[in-house]
Amino acid sequence: MASNACKLISLVLFFAFVNQGYGDCHLNYLSVKQSKTGNLVQNKPEWEVRVTNPCKCKFQYTTLSCVGFQSVTPVATSLLSKSGDLCLLNAGKFIFPHVDFVFKYVWDTSFDLKVIDGVIVCP
């Protein structure tokens, strides 16, 4: 009986450690913030988009909802690749922990950019 109790405690501790290591990061933790840079191009404001990863894990294949997204100036496809109403960040490469991923675009108004998909990769 003591053996079963020991196994149960071991399992509980194991899952607690696993959850602690991987439970700190969720897709909705990535924040997308936009602000005007103060620059104008063809009389339209330039917008800076900052995707922040506060987690200790990396995010890969991060996809934004980007309905209607367009820009007067081209955005490098290595930064933002648009397909229909979806935009892939950083060519699917990692968004690293505690590092902001930044790109800029030029349009009259900001677009409603939201993280909708991605893969969480923890050490």
59-99: pLDDT as tens digits: 999 999 999 999 999 999 999 999 999 999 999 999 999 99
**Is the predicted pLDDT of residue 22 greater than 90, yes or no?**
no
Higher pLDDT, 2 or 24: 24
- In degrees, rounded to 5, the angle at the alpha carbon of residue 117 between the alpha carbons of residues 101 and 78 is 40
Per-residue pLDDT band at 123 (split at 50, 70, 90): confident
Give the pLDDT score at 1: 53
Counting Cβ atoms within 10 Å, is residue 28 exposed (0-12), middle (13-18) or buried (19+)?
exposed
Q: Give the rounded percent of residues in the chain with a pLDDT score beyond 90.
A: 79
Q: What is the CA radius of gyration of the chain?
A: 20
Q: Mean pLDDT across the chain, nearest whole number?
A: 86
**Is the predicted pLDDT of residue 15 greater than 80, yes or no?**
no
